[in-house]
Amino acid sequence: MQREYEGQAFQVTPQMTPQEENQHLMGWLPLVRKIVRQLSYQCSHIMDRQDMEQIALMGLLSAIRRYGVPDEHFVGYASQRIRGAILDELRSLDWRPRQLRQKFHRIKDLIRTLRQQLGHEPEWNELAPHGIDVDEYQEYLLLENAETMSSLDEMLSGDQEQPIFQGRALEEQFITQDLLSKALGTLTENEGFVLSMYYQKCMNLKEISLVLGVSEARVCQINKRIMEKIRAYFYQE
């Protein structure tokens, strides 16, 4: 039996024993820790690091069971599964205390209103007169960025329930991969750089902002624009 990942077919091996699964889990723990470190910066308001590591391990185990014996292509697949498992939990509103959930929506509505009035994405100094302090703004940015990256993860992996990826035969999956490559080609150099730092180097929001010399709010805006460009490209096609 064959499996397909990123346009390539791979042979699926027989089911592993629990001992073999555990051996692979231990061998890929550094990847788990690397991704947890990346996401802990934006998830600390929602779940503690220990919970995050447990969720990440379940994501890794799911990746091993679905993929089979890890090979040179496994790291990309596993990274998507691990990151997706954490972000799926983060995206669930049940993880947020009610007060935090209300605050998030209040700031989001305010930003939407000011965006319409100002004609641009408002910065914190434009939110401050409306009673938003810098800590609340930072908290909002982290939560919004997590939601954005969760959606982007799904789009880039193709492992989602979006209509554009449902029911595809193998040849259609190749077409989808080609569309994705073309969509990524529409990104600016700066947007591609941000995507590379996030997915290839597993850098967090703060680290990316320091490298680019811009605010974390600006990185969040770039992430959102990347997602919107990729989504628009697929639906236009």
Q: Spelled out in words, what is the top-level CATH class assigned to the domain 1-95?
A: mainly alpha
Structure confidence at residue 210 (pLDDT):
93
37-60: burial string, b at 16+ Cβ within 10 Å, e else? ebbbbbbeebbeeeebbebbbebb
Q: Is 25 within 8 Å of 53 (Cβ atoms)? A: no
Q: Please report the pLDDT score of residue 176 as a whole number.
A: 55
- The per-residue pLDDT for 57 is 93
Q: What is the pLDDT of residue 8?
A: 47
The reported pLDDT for the residue numbered 236 is: 59
Whether this prediction's pTM lies above 0.75 is answered by no
**Encoding tokens for residue 126?**
């434009």
Query: Tens of pLDDT along the chain (237 residues)?
Result: 445 444 444 444 457 788 888 898 899 999 999 888 888 876 666 677 888 899 999 999 999 988 888 888 888 888 888 988 887 777 664 555 666 777 888 898 999 999 899 988 888 889 999 988 888 888 888 778 877 877 777 766 654 443 333 444 444 455 556 666 777 888 898 998 998 888 888 888 889 999 999 888 888 889 888 888 888 776 654
CA distances from 57 to 44, 54, 64, 226 (A): 18, 5, 10, 28
Which pLDDT belongs to residue 10? 46
How far apart are alpha carbons 228 and 151 in whole angstroms? 10
User: Any idea how long the chain is?
Assistant: 237
Write down the pLDDT at residue 2.
46
Q: List the domain boundaries for the chain.
A: 1-95
Whole-number pLDDT of residue 73: 83
CA distance 109 to 114: 9
| Secondary element (H or E) of residue 64 | helix 49-67
pLDDT at 44: 67
Q: What is the DSSP letter of 186?
A: T
For residue 234, the model assigns a pLDDT of 66
Q: What span, in angstroms and rounded, lies between the C-alpha atoms of 119 and 122?
A: 9
